[in-house]
């Protein structure tokens, strides 16, 4: 299995598994660089790992935190000393390396290196109690050191971000994502040389350099690295969430993104029964989720079948059909989005879970702000 394939297998596990370590309440820096076309895997030679990738972390004391090392997803081995770690690092080739403290599946601290032919990927996970006042400045110093050191061997720092590992924040709708430029960061990093090398990236860089910043955001350049920071006290979850939302609102128009699966361009979420059957008085009944869906006609004057509405509301309040069939909730299907919006507040007040409308093969839940 190639190192890229192993990385792809490993990343979803890291992203989605239940977490009690840094992944639950801590912070993560994630960045990557790419080799120049004529360099290839020759970038990974000499003492690049120790001198360029690990040295900035050692200077800040962060490299001393991990107690174990796992190479290519193998069994963890204890780290006896910094000298021992340096000696091991000198033997690493095109590997996936995890340095961690605590539980392997849920580490307190983690430094991940994806050492690949195309260039390095670097991720540093830090628990909330390790997020001191200087952390964001420390991260900025790592990025600058990596950018400068890697450039000397033909690797260009490309992108990086610093953000909470998991903390939710109020995302704009519809939520969008980008495979290259993460959204919802506290600090966004961009390598100038890498961005200037291709037309599509030039356009992104122009926005990063010129787009007016919202209050609480600042833009700095250090060597070949552009940093966009959004102010927030890392110990204040509300401030962090607000800063992440501000970043996403500002950044999304500047980069290519796609609407995330399960949403449409209106910001409505898909809602459809997983195991639909027909059960009166519902149009569809989801046996797995115990949710009833009922299509109601809306007449030209805006009126509807009030008797049917009252019957369904009674079922929603009772949590069951007259025959005892359990009903966790009732969802209304209206002919048009305009109808679903118009009836949204009344429906919620009467005990319905949501109002939806059909489009394509889905029902779409409206949820006006």
74 and 124 inside one domain: yes
Task: Write down which residue in 200, 229, 259 finishes a domain.
Answer: 259
- Residue 352 in domain: yes
Asked which of 219, 234, 259 is the last residue of a domain, the reply is 259
Claim to verify: residue 302 and residue 347 sit in the same structural domain: yes
pLDDT, averaged in runs of 10, over the chain (369 residues) = 40 40 94 89 87 93 94 91 92 93 92 95 94 93 97 96 94 91 96 96 96 97 98 96 97 95 95 92 96 96 95 97 96 97 97 96 89
**Do 190 and 225 meet the contact criterion of CB atoms below 8 Å apart?**
yes
Q: Is residue 292 part of a domain?
A: yes
| Same domain (yes/no): 253, 273 | no
What is the 3-state composition of the chain as percent helix, strand, coil, each rounded to the nearest 5? Answer: 35, 30, 40
The verdict on residue 240 lying in a domain is yes
Order of strands, sheet of 155-164, starting from the edge strand that comes earlier in the sequence: 77-78, 68-71, 96-103, 106-116, 119-126, 27-35, 155-164, 187-191, 225-230, 217-222
- Tell whether 247 and 338 lie within a shared domain: no
Q: How far are the Cα atoms of 30, 92, 277, 315 from residue 180, in angstroms, in the given order?
A: 12, 26, 42, 47
State residue 11's pLDDT score: 38
Last residue of a domain, one of 259, 294, 320: 259
Locate 213 and state its tokens: 């910043």
Q: What is the pLDDT of residue 8?
A: 37
Query: Do both 285 and 175 map to the same domain?
Result: no
pTM: 0.83
Q: Are residues 255 and 305 in the same domain?
A: no
Residue with tokens 């690049």: 48
Expressed as residue numbers, the domain containing 339 is 269-365
pLDDT of residue 39: 82
Same domain, 283 and 176: no
160 near 29, Cβ under 8 Å?
Answer: yes
Q: Which of 228, 254, 141, 189 is nearest to 30 (CA)?
A: 189
- Let me know if residue 54 belongs to a domain: yes
How many domains, the chain?
A: 2
Q: Same domain, yes or no, for 316 and 358?
A: yes
pLDDT score for 82? 92
| 264 is a domain residue | no
- The encoded tokens of residue 309 equal 């509405």
């Amino acid at each position: 299995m190639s190192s890229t394939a192993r990385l792809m297998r490993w990343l979803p596990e890291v992203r989605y598994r239940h977490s009690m370590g840094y992944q639950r309440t801590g912070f993560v820096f994630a960045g990557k660089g790419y080799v120049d076309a004529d360099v290839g895997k020759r970038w990974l030679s000499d003492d690049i790992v120790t001198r360029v990738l690990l040295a900035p972390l050692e200077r800040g004391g962060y490299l001393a935190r991990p107690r174990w090392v796992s190479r290519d997803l193998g069994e963890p081995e204890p780290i006896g000393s910094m000298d021992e770690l340096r000696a091991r690092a000198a033997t690493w080739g095109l590997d996936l390396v995890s340095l961690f403290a605590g539980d392997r599946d849920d580490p307190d601290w983690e430094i991940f290196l994806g050492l690949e032919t195309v260039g390095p990927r670097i991720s540093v996970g830090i628990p909330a109690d390790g997020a001191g006042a200087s952390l964001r400045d420390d991260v900025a110093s790592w990025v600058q050191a990596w950018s400068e050191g890697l450039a000397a061997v033909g690797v260009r720092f490309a992108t990086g971000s610093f953000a909470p590992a998991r903390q939710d924040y109020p995302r704009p709708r519809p939520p969008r994502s980008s495979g290259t430029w993460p959204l919802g960061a506290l600090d966004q990093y961009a390598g100038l040389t890498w961005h200037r090398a291709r037309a599509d990236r030039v356009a992104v860089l122009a926005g990063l350099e010129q787009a007016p910043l919202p209050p609480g955001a600042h833009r700095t350049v250090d060597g070949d690295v552009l940093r966009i920071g959004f102010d927030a006290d890392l110990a204040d979850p509300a401030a962090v969430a607000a800063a992440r939302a501000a970043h996403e609102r500002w950044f999304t128009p500047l980069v290519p993104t796609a609407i995330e699966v399960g949403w449409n361009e209106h910001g409505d979420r898909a809602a459809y029964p997983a195991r639909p059957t027909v059960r009166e008085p519902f149009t569809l009944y989801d046996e797995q989720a115990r949710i009833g869906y009922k299509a109601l006609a809306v007449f030209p004057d805006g009126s509807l079948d009030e008797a049917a509405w009252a019957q369904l509301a009674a079922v929603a309040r009772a949590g069951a059909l007259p025959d005892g069939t359990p009903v966790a909730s009732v969802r209304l299907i209206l002919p048009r989005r305009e109808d679903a919006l118009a009836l949204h507040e009344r429906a919620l007040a009467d005990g319905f879970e949501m109002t939806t409308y059909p489009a394509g093969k889905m029902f779409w839940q409206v949820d006006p702000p």
